[in-house]
Amino acid sequence: MTIIHTLLATLPLLAAAVAASNQGHHGGLPKDLVAPHIQAHPYAPGNFRPAVPRREHGHGKVCTIKSHNGDAGPHIVAAARKCNHGGTVYFPPGVYEIATAVDLTFLQDIDFAIHGTISFLQDAKYWETQTFKYDYQGAKLFWRFGGKNVNIYGNDKGVIDGNGPYWWGQMANDSTTQRPIMFGTDGLHHATISGLTMRNPPNWFNLIANSSDILISDLSLQVDPQPKETPAKNTDGWDTYRSSNIVIQNSVIINTDDCVSFKPNSTSVIVQNLSCTGSHGISVGSLGQYIGEVDRVEDVYVYNITMANAGNFARIKRWGMGTVHNVTYDHLYSNSNDEVITLTQCYYAVNQTMCDRYPASLEISDVTFKNIWGTTTKKYDPRVGSLVCSSPDVCHDIHATNIHLEPPSGNTATYTCVNLADSELDINCV
């Protein structure tokens, strides 16, 4: 994906393991199955330790998944158990349909080389009882990866297809349809995910939950154009949740919701070198949503991003208890977005009067927007951003410098600025 660089114990399982194993050979790992050596660049969190390609010299067992008409789920689990502790699970070119929830949270020192196309059974009623369910925002997963020292890669050949049009059509007929997230990690530590194409997720593309030290690089995420009657819904590129030391980089995202969203307790996250189109921005979002829970997002760096035809770009939306601290948006290029900088401390409030009367308790501090240029749409012209805090007591040290945005009218760009204390704002607040 060079274009981007200039931009997952019973008898049935034992039987499946036999079907999934490719003679269990130990030597001479084909060169195109070796995990690529990727690095976080140009930035990485301190003490960042993703997995490394351990089998560069051709060592380790290979367990091959066979493409057939049945459920690939049990075969994937069996192959992962057989090749755990030093092997590679290989998906050759072909189509693999998952029809049962696949729990891969036992992994240790293993690679997944995905050169085929993975999809999921199109049956909304069936998946209502089969997915892995999470309390946060009703999240559900078809499959999930967890463990330590794992490489998941497509070598620019692998595809994960969520059959989104089926799910969006179901939702158009019944808004309560439960749509799973297409790819997820839960308790995955020291890992890389790279070189994959992801298409048309039912819900979010990716959930990175309860995980750490993960490098995600060289992915292509795409939502195909849909009829107005069955629009794509909630197609976030990545949502990070209760995770730290995460790098997302060198990828292209065409979707209809957040390009990246930092959910509760995301810390030490770097997002760099992305091209996002049609999204809702790169967002610190939905914090303090549940009563009694204290959420935080800290130490986030967003660098070198191109955003086109989006509703927002750099966005912080939150309410409730917790903190947003040390978040930086740096080197952003805006191509026809509605609003480029959005800080909304009263995301729940119907108007500023209600925001002032019931100020948020979640504190925002040390937030920087810098080195931002480009164009906006006529939607709010000449306004190109808004920074609205509920109270200067809980919102301070906001910085906005070296920003050059041009609304289509050619008038001077303006910003709505409310309740900002101890802040450096080199912008035209009105």
Q: State the catalytic residues.
A: 280
Cis preceding linkage at 50, omega within 30: no
> Are 369 and 426 spatial neighbours (Cβ–Cβ below 8 Å)?
no
Q: What are phi and psi of 287, to 5 degrees?
A: -95, 150
Closest CA to 194 of 362, 38, 417: 38
Closest CA to 75 of 142, 25, 161, 13: 13
Locus of tokens 């089998």? 55
Locus of tokens 């990246």? 260
Task: List all residues 6 or more positions away from 384 whose beta carbon is below 8 Å from its beta carbon.
Answer: 339, 340, 341, 376, 405, 407, 413, 414, 415
CA–CA separation, 274 vs 302, rounded Å?
10
Question: In the chain, how many H helices and how many E strands?
Answer: 6, 26
Q: Which helix (H) or strand (E) holds 17?
A: helix 11-20
Q: Are strands 321-337 and 260-262 parallel, antiparallel or unpaired?
A: unpaired
> Are 285 and 327 spatial neighbours (Cβ–Cβ below 8 Å)?
no
Structure tokens, 122? 């199109």
> Are 182 and 145 spatial neighbours (Cβ–Cβ below 8 Å)?
no
Locus of tokens 């805006």? 334
Locus of tokens 């839960």? 186
Closest CA to 272 of 330, 353, 359, 206: 330
